[in-house]
Amino acid sequence: MKWTSRIYKFFIDILYPNRCPVCDSFIGYDKLICEKCITQLPYIEEEYCIKCGKHGCICGKHKIYYDKCLSFIYYEGKGKDGIMNLKLKCGVNFAEYFAEKVVTALDERGLLSQIDFITATPTTKDKLQERGYNQAFEFAKHISKLCDIKASENFLVKTDSELNQHELSSAERKSRSFKAYTLSSKAPSLSGKTILLCDDVITTGSTLNACAKILKKAGAERVICVAIANTNHYSKNKK
């Protein structure tokens, strides 16, 4: 954490005491998550396919438009609590904690230096108005701050506000999600660029895939996806 941000957090903490985004207990102004929750988060420790991001690789079954996909925890238990806090209360501590993990993981794989732009899966205008923020872009902004690569929300637009992805079946999601996103008219030239595409949770991967397809069509050379959580339970439930 930069010293300017430490000072800012110190004073904000006097007005609004800092809380753990997972269990809601009070924590120091310079902490992001309480020590107990840090040790108890459902980290993904098993090997998964680095291309599609799944334990049960789906690369052979579907056309995957993104080139790499990293995620860090399972979307369950304390992992789900942290995501819900980010989603519903803009609990950005959770996004900031995982932004550090993203930057380290990308650096270890030699990918960080290749990234030209950072963006996030878009949300609809209605949702943005209702919540006031897009949690995926909040995550992107924290990654951007740590690695000094510009984050922009102006790459993709989500067009269909009627659809609630979570209420659709996997097949419906797949076919519809390709229609639900378009390239923004404000997007810069993406020709030959490597883009880091951020999301909070990967479910089937269809949202990331639909967005990656558009970015590739617009000329992007590579799309690297990162998400905080993954709903893939392959190793836990299907063994």
Residues within the interface to Zn ion (CB under 5 A): 20, 22-23, 34, 37, 49, 51-52, 57, 59
CA dihedral 103, 204, 60, 183 (to 10 degrees): -70
Regarding beta strands 68-74 and 222-230, do their DSSP bridges make them parallel or antiparallel, or are they unpaired?
A: parallel
| Closer of 31 and 127 to Zn ion (Cβ) | 31
| Closer of 49 and 128 to Zn ion (Cβ) | 49
Q: Is 186 exposed, middle or buried (0-12, 13-18, 19+ CB in 10 A)?
A: exposed
| Collapsed DSSP state (helix, strand, coil) of residue 195 | strand
Cβ(95)–Cβ(145) under 8 Å?
no
| Closer of 5 and 25 to Zn ion (Cβ) | 25
Cα–Cα distance, 102 to 108 (Å, whole number): 10
Q: Report, in Å, the least distance between residue 130 CB and Zn ion.
A: 27
Q: Report, in Å, the least distance between residue 126 CB and Zn ion.
A: 32
Token pair 């990967």 is found at: 202
The strand order across the sheet containing 117-120 reads 68-74, 222-230, 194-202, 117-120
Q: Report, in Å, the least distance between residue 9 CB and Zn ion.
A: 17
Q: Report, in Å, the least distance between residue 42 CB and Zn ion.
A: 14
Q: Report, in Å, the least distance between residue 61 CB and Zn ion.
A: 9
Q: Report, in Å, the least distance between residue 124 CB and Zn ion.
A: 29
Q: Report, in Å, the least distance between residue 157 CB and Zn ion.
A: 28
Count the neighbouring beta carbons within 10 Å of the beta carbon of residue 48.
Answer: 19
- C-alpha distances out from residue 181 to 160, 176, 177, 207, Å: 8, 9, 7, 9
At residue 202's C-alpha, the angle toward residues 42 and 139, to 5°, is 80
Cα–Cα distance, 138 to 141 (Å, whole number): 5
